[in-house]
Amino acid sequence: MTTSPTTNEDVNDSPKAEDLLRILESLDALVYVSDMHSHEMLFINAYGRQRWGAPNGRKCWQVLQDGQSGPCDFCTNPQLLGADGHPPPTIVWEFRNTRDGRWYQCRDQAMQWHDGRMVRVEIATDITERKTLEEALKASNQQTRKLAYRDDLTQLPNRRAFFESYRKQMETLTPDQPLALVLIDLDHFKMVNDVRGHAAGDHVLKVVAELFQAQLKPLDILCRLGGEEFALVLPNTSLPCATALAKRLHEALRSHTMEYAGQPFLVTASLGVAATTCAEADLNDMLKAADRAMYRAKAQGRDQVCSEALSSQNESRPE
């Protein structure tokens, strides 16, 4: 007669308490048990004792945390028993331990202890390396996003940032507040590149960005659209005030002597200003109006400011 191999189901002897304890003591993770009412720590495995010490009748926060005079603000005990008094599914969460500064993923559950009281059982696995990688990836993504919205040469917001800035301003302003847009094109910039070289042209663009930024308020948004063209978004700014600012930028540039490779020279710009109320501030209409004004400035001899209103303006932006 043949016999089948012995399986786990055929074994009559169940694991003994010392076997279960040996398993808990060998885990590469913290396992502890604390009274849900008194917070007394009833058990902590070898991994935990090596890092936080033996309980010796202390509360769980006294063993595991620093600077605690009572239960932790992040204690999950209130979540471990449902309204009917029965434990819900395991709660999984992450936190940074205040004693060793490392990150842990915790799995918490309530259960009935051998003497009938309800206890909290937590298994905490060190995930510091994973969190470090996540933080590095997050920082890298933030830097990538920053670079994607920044002009490398002038360090101004770029064309993509311009459109996003305009959209954000539309969301923050009330419908009756004015919004102005200024388009700026450097006159005969190709001649600077052709005669003095592209390095000189790059120098001019950086100086122009610095000159204009010095004239602006913190909420004003100056962007480089590309080439020799800049754009300025002016929240809560009427057409007269935007035109006055554009004239200050124009004068700051034309009165500044550029110098490159020991050679002085002048640079001027043509500026087009458009403004309307936020309720009517469609970006395409604003761009077309500012563009028309800018090309009118060019057609009239360049080196000047022209403006165009899309609707009646309130006198905002106190100087």
Which positions are annotated as active-site residues?
A: 228
**What is d(CA 115, CA 191) in angstroms, rounded to the nearest whole number?**
91
**What is d(CA 212, CA 155) in angstroms, rounded to the nearest whole number?**
13
**What DSSP line would sit under 216-264, residue for residue?**
--TT-EEEEEETTEEEEEEET--HHHHHHHHHHHHHHHHTSEEEETTEE
- State residue 177 phi and psi, 5-degree precision: -80, 145
Work out the end-to-end distance of the chain between its first and last CA atoms, rounded to an integer number of angstroms: 105
Q: How many CA atoms lie within 13 A of 156 on its CB side?
A: 29
**What is d(CA 61, CA 65) in angstroms, rounded to the nearest whole number?**
5
- State residue 252 phi and psi, 5-degree precision: -60, -40
261-264 LR contacts (CB < 8 Å, sep 24+): 261/196, 261/200, 263/196
Helix (H) or strand (E) holding 308: strand 305-309
Q: How many CA atoms lie within 13 A of 313 on its CB side?
A: 23
Q: Could you tell me if 204 and 302 are in contact, meaning their C-beta atoms sit under 8 angstroms apart? A: no
Q: Is 118 helix (H, G, I), strand (E, B) or coil?
A: strand
